[in-house]
Amino acid sequence: MGQTLTEKILDDHLVEGELETGEEIGIEIDQVLTQDTTGTLVWLQFEALDMDEVQTEIAAQYCDHQTYQFDFKNTDDHRFLRSAAGTFGAHYSRPGNGICHNVHKENFAAPGKTMLGSDSHTPTPGGLGELAIGSGGLDVAVAMGGGPYYIEMPEIVNVRLEGELPEWATAKDVILEMLRRFSVKGGVGKIFEYTGPGVETLSVPERTTITNMGTELGATTSIFPTDENTEEWLSRLGREDEYVDLQPDDDAEYDDEIVIDLSDLEPLIAQPSMPDKVVPVREVAGQSVDQVMIGSCTNGGYEDILPAAKMLEGRTVNRKTDLIVAPASKQASEMLAREGWVAELMAAGVNFSEATCGACIGIGHVPASDSVSLRTFNRNFEGRSGIEDDSVYLCSPEVATAAAIKGEIIDPRDLADELGDLEAPEFEMGDNYGTTADDPDLISPDEAVDDELIKGPNIGDVPLKDELESDLEGPALLKMQDNITTDHIIPATQDILMYRSNIPKLSEFTLSRVDDSFAQRALDADGGFLVAGENYGQGSSREHAALCPMYLGVEGVLAQSFARIHKANLFNFGLLPLEISEEDYEKFEQGDDIEIVDDVAEAVRSGQEEFTVRVNDDWELTATLDASERERQILADGGKLSHTKKQAEGG
């Protein structure tokens, strides 16, 4: 039987296990990336593991989420990250140089390689044939030290693309269509492999928009085959020697197959406040728009801003609407500037920002209260923009620009009819495309500035947890609904994010957006559980969302289901993730006394799957631990840091 493209890459990197759906496999990692919000912990953990040098082909540290140095704590973090990259042998990308996925794509991502990144949108370079997976920072630290990355072999779904996108429909509409069909939970445990004749009609940047936002489906990753477009794109960046022809075998068998006819697509939009609330733009047309933002790792490239610039040529932004363009990389800004497009945008009334994540996590450009913001980003979870009860829509740059011109949501086809002279912008790589690859803001290990760690006063140690106990009991500290995101658990806003390297302080904000008394109650209870519905922990790879509850004494989470990366983070920090039925979830009330009847430490180590949970000494339920042998040992040892140290000591 032939192999899928995913199987071929995994096979090449397999160090443990077999490629059978649901089986745990260990794979070798070629490249790692980390960013500033997760990176400090990655390096502190790398240090705590007594590692002294990066072992992967490429390791890169980016400063992108919080680039504005409002406070010495941010600047201290950046200096610490530069010193860690220099000390241990990683590339360091300075604040303002761009978003990790985009800078990595431009400089390092290559077909056939594996990559692990401590950011949930790590799958972005799947668009050029790299198998890239998001994980918690501790997994990245271990991979960077040469250890394998373990994962349950996902199902592989063939997404067959047919036809060609019509005018005004874009790659963003392909992924919004996927979200409309699958929802934010529909990709859990899956890898989406794109095939079919429609692939060659999409440029590499269009493909990476699709693979980037596969994360919103909950997918492990997404990947495209390579072709002439990939080769040309790499060669424009001076990296043609990294091209590899990658195709699935003709007789490859997939776990599932779906077909998207690109020619049927039209401009789509995700309504507030979930990326899967997708409808045609025409269904919500006419709404007044206060703010439009073009940027983020999804649609912040040269090829995303160019259409906006072309649509705005000879026009201006509507007086009642602010249009902010935040490029995803400095290289994109520089290319646009060299071609004169930045001047055009400014003349049209655009606020042209530095290359940063920023507003994507509520740092800067926070929408006004009770207002509508249209963004080309990948997430619109409630409050993520920096204001509770926000009203953020997700759409393509074309739809966003049309709204900025009109001052209200409008299908760009209708705007073109209204204006008479507005043409659908075509993608093209200008003469300056890729010519700025020699980047002084990307410091290679050979050019390292520091050779020892520099820790300011806000950079603390990583807390460790003791071995799992035999008796676990405590209150249900909080009962939460479905789809709780890592933004709910540890918000990424500026006032909170600056404590990312100071766990005692950061923990005070744990779940504060759900219940601001939670942290104190958890500390007072000295143990206890979280109860949640479906898809607990969706969103980012932020391991603080497991580490901070652990620091507060939370013992475990009882949920109907878990998001993949967050579940791995719970194991990594020694928190017991138990699955419960919807019926039992409904019966729980906050404050209930929970006791796990079994000898937990023994049961976890011995492979027991079902646990008896007694509630209020009144009723019992059966909860399930779905964990591999390796995850069980990690959990029992009190988390991956303790586990890895114990292994190194021969324990």
Chain residues in the site for ligand F3S (CB under 6 A)? 65, 99, 101, 119, 121, 296-297, 357, 360-361, 378
- Residues 267, 208: Cα–Cα separation, whole Å: 18
Distant-in-sequence, close-in-space partners of 264: CB < 8 Å, separation ≥ 6: 163
Closest contact distance (angstroms) between CB of 102 and ligand F3S is 9
**Residues in a beta bridge with 33:** 60, 117
Closest contact distance (angstroms) between CB of 238 and ligand F3S is 25
Closest contact distance (angstroms) between CB of 611 and ligand F3S is 35
Residue (of 557, 576, 558) closest to 632 by Cα position: 576
Closest contact distance (angstroms) between CB of 296 and ligand F3S is 4
Chain position carrying tokens 């007044």:
288
Distant-in-sequence, close-in-space partners of 462: CB < 8 Å, separation ≥ 6: 41, 44, 45, 48, 503, 547, 641
Chain position carrying tokens 């990197």:
13
Closest contact distance (angstroms) between CB of 540 and ligand F3S is 8
Using the minimum distance from each CB to ligand F3S, give the nearer residue, 458 or 540: 540
Using the minimum distance from each CB to ligand F3S, give the nearer residue, 94 or 465: 94
Tokens linked to 299: 């649609």
- Give 541's DSSP letter: -
Using the minimum distance from each CB to ligand F3S, give the nearer residue, 113 or 542: 542
Give Cα 242 to chain centroid, integer Å: 25
Using the minimum distance from each CB to ligand F3S, give the nearer residue, 216 or 408: 216
Closest contact distance (angstroms) between CB of 370 and ligand F3S is 24
Using a 10 angstrom Cβ sphere, with 0-12 exposed, 13-18 middle and 19 or more buried, the burial of residue 339 is: middle
Using the minimum distance from each CB to ligand F3S, give the nearer residue, 175 or 410: 175
Closest contact distance (angstroms) between CB of 542 and ligand F3S is 10
Using the minimum distance from each CB to ligand F3S, give the nearer residue, 78 or 465: 78
Closest contact distance (angstroms) between CB of 327 and ligand F3S is 11
Tokens linked to 562: 């878990």
Closest contact distance (angstroms) between CB of 314 and ligand F3S is 30
Q: For residue 153, how many other CB atoms are within 10 A of its CB?
A: 21
Using the minimum distance from each CB to ligand F3S, give the nearer residue, 121 or 455: 121
Amino acid present at 211: T
**3-state class percentages of the chain: helix first, strand second, coil last, to nearest 5:** 35, 20, 45
Q: In what order do the strands lie in the sheet with 91-93?
A: 131-134, 114-117, 31-34, 58-62, 91-93, 442-443
Closest contact distance (angstroms) between CB of 31 and ligand F3S is 16
Using the minimum distance from each CB to ligand F3S, give the nearer residue, 79 or 121: 121
Q: With contact defined as beta carbons under 8 Å apart, do 223 and 193 qualify?
A: yes
Closest contact distance (angstroms) between CB of 69 and ligand F3S is 17
Residue (of 197, 244, 192) closest to 4 by Cα position: 192
Q: How many residues appear in the chain?
A: 651
| 268-270 and 610-615 beta bridge pairing | unpaired
- Residues 534, 459: Cα–Cα separation, whole Å: 34
Using the minimum distance from each CB to ligand F3S, give the nearer residue, 541 or 642: 541
Region at 229 (left for phi over 0; alpha for psi -120 to 50; beta for the rest): alpha
Closest contact distance (angstroms) between CB of 103 and ligand F3S is 11
Using the minimum distance from each CB to ligand F3S, give the nearer residue, 104 or 465: 104
- Residues 310, 328: Cα–Cα separation, whole Å: 18
Distant-in-sequence, close-in-space partners of 458: CB < 8 Å, separation ≥ 6: 72, 73, 76, 77, 498, 499, 501, 502
Using the minimum distance from each CB to ligand F3S, give the nearer residue, 31 or 195: 31
Using the minimum distance from each CB to ligand F3S, give the nearer residue, 87 or 501: 501
